[in-house]
């Protein structure tokens, strides 16, 4: 890999999109010879199993290969991670802003939606004031180490965001996405909503459905960040959490576009 710029692809879909977007910027703007390292997806030692999903999008023809590292190099990486806390997820528009139009173009789905997702897309497109609402739980709720780092957006955050939209829009309809939809059905009480997430709709299809809504309420999640960012509505309103992790605000991480509303 001499003279090549290696960008590691790891984590869930939202993180994969951030990493790819940064690599695309390095290739186009910095003229780097970029290779994407996919070795993360070949190990069984991950805390949370994640599939590689970039191949579902209309991305450029880069090299995506698992790069084998020596034991010493892996150990050095782990030590460096503990010292710096730098996960190299590039979670900010600033890492690809020069190529943002190309990013939006490439982050479209390669194949047609499944029948279930297509039906939901028709429901969204038929609604003038559709609002995507994403509740991230999963390992944020069940994994102690992950929870201690990320934390969870509480229900009060969502109720305040919903109230804001009700004050601004005429009769909004909320399309609800979550990796724990049953918990949401049991705990989030509101009017005029449609629960989107179900086993027949794949996660990358959910991303397309989120971005098709007129407006967005996101979690402290890179997945719903992209759902809102890829929303092409020029007049969209995006509400995002002021506190992104337990220790860092969204402003400290520079993770949110300036026009998004923080609550």
Q: Render each residue's pLDDT in the chain as its tens digit; 263 residues.
A: 567 898 999 999 999 999 999 999 999 999 999 999 999 888 755 555 789 999 999 998 889 998 876 444 554 444 444 433 344 588 999 999 999 999 999 999 999 999 999 999 999 999 999 999 999 875 544 445 544 545 678 999 999 999 999 999 999 999 999 999 999 999 999 989 999 999 999 999 999 999 999 999 999 999 999 999 999 999 999 999 999 988 889 999 999 999 999 99
- Give the model's pLDDT for residue 43: 72
In Å, what is the CA distance from 259 to each residue of 87, 95, 149, 211?
26, 18, 26, 17
- Give the model's pLDDT for residue 193: 97
- Give the model's pLDDT for residue 45: 54
- Give the model's pLDDT for residue 109: 97
- Give the model's pLDDT for residue 137: 79
The length of the chain is: 263
Interacting residues of 52 by C-beta distance below 8 A, sequence separation 6+: 9, 16, 38, 41, 64
Residue 103, CB-side half-sphere exposure with 13 Å CA sphere: 26
In contact, 97 and 22? CB cutoff 8 Å = no
* For helices 13-28 and 203-212, angle between their N-to-C axes, nearest 10 degrees: 70
Angle at CA of residue 82, ends 242 and 246, nearest 5° = 20
- Give the model's pLDDT for residue 150: 52
pTM of the predicted structure, to 2 decimals: 0.89
């Amino acid at each position: 890999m001499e003279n090549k710029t290696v960008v590691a692809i790891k984590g869930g879909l939202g993180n994969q999109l951030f990493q790819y977007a940064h690599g695309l910027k390095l290739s186009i703007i910095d003229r780097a010879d970029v290779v994407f390292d996919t070795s993360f997806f070949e190990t069984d030692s991950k805390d949370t199993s994640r599939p590689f999903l970039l191949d579902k999008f209309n991305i450029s023809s880069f090299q995506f290969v698992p790069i084998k590292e020596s034991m010493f190099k892996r150990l050095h990486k782990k030590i460096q991670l503990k010292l710096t806390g730098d996960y190299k997820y590039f979670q900010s528009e600033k890492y690809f802003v020069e190529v943002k139009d190309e990013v939006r173009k490439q982050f479209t789905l390669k194949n047609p939606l499944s029948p279930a997702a297509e039906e939901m897309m028709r429901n969204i497109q038929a609604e003038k004031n559709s609002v995507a609402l994403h509740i991230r739980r999963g390992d944020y709720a069940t994994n102690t180490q992950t929870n201690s780092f990320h934390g969870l957006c509480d229900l009060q955050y969502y109720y305040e965001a919903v109230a804001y939209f009700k004050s601004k829009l005429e009769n909004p309809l909320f399309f609800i996405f979550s990796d724990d939809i049953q918990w949401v059905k049991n705990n989030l009480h509101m009017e005029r909503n449609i629960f989107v997430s179900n086993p027949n709709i794949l996660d990358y299809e959910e991303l397309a459905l989120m971005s098709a809504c007129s407006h967005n309420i996101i979690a402290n999640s890179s997945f719903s960040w992209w759902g809102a960012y890829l929303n092409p509505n020029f007049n969209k309103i995006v509400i995002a959490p002021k506190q992104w992790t337990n220790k860092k605000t969204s402003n400290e991480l520079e993770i949110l576009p300036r026009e998004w509303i923080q609550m």
